[in-house]
Amino acid sequence: MMIFFGANDACLPGSDTGQHVPLDTYKRNLGEIVQHQSVTPHRPRIILVTPPPIDEYALEASDAAKGVLGVRRKAEHTMLYAEACRKVGQDLGLVVLDLWSIFMEAAGYKPGKPLPGSKKVEKNAVLHRLLSDGKISWVLTACSLD
């Protein structure tokens, strides 16, 4: 069973989407889902999937085209939700498919440096391509994975 929550939950508080879920609530919800009484009797193999990173440049353009003004998501905020997903998986001994880290590695991210996708740095062509065409084969090639 794959659980892929967090991309919408990571909207900024107060954004007009109404989708924001506070980080502590997000973590608690993930734990409650995988440990729910209707799930555990089936002994499913559970895989948590981190939210992917975002491209603030692309989101700004997409939102503007829809007439939306203001910032709904930030790269740094989304990173916190990916970290939380990994932590829940670690704490519960679950497999985690870390899309955030896979995409960020392909985009050349180095911990401690500004995040690709953030407007604090120039637009990252690799991340933009990953997030806009969705071709997983390109991700695997970019990461040099077998």
Distance CA 142, CA 60 (A): 25
What proportion of the chain, given as a percentage, has pLDDT over 70?
Answer: 90
Q: What is the pLDDT of residue 144?
A: 46
Confidence of residue 105 (pLDDT cuts 50, 70, 90): very high
116: number of Cβ within 10 Å: 24
Strand 2-3 to 95-97 pairing: unpaired
Q: What is the pLDDT of residue 65?
A: 84
- Is the pLDDT reported for residue 119 higher than 50? yes
Across the chain, what does the average pLDDT equal?
Answer: 88
* 3 state SS of 34: helix
Confidence of residue 138 (pLDDT cuts 50, 70, 90): very low
Look at residues 14, 94, 8, 106 and name the one whose alpha carbon lies nearest to residue 51.
Answer: 8
Q: What is the pLDDT of residue 137?
A: 46
- Is the pLDDT reported for residue 129 higher than 80? yes
Distance CA 25, CA 71 (A): 22
When pLDDT is averaged across residues 49-53 and rounded to a whole number, the result is 96
Q: Does the predicted model carry a pTM greater than 0.85?
A: yes
* Location of structure tokens 């603030």: 56
- Is the pLDDT reported for residue 110 higher than 70? yes
Confidence of residue 70 (pLDDT cuts 50, 70, 90): confident
* 3 state SS of 10: coil
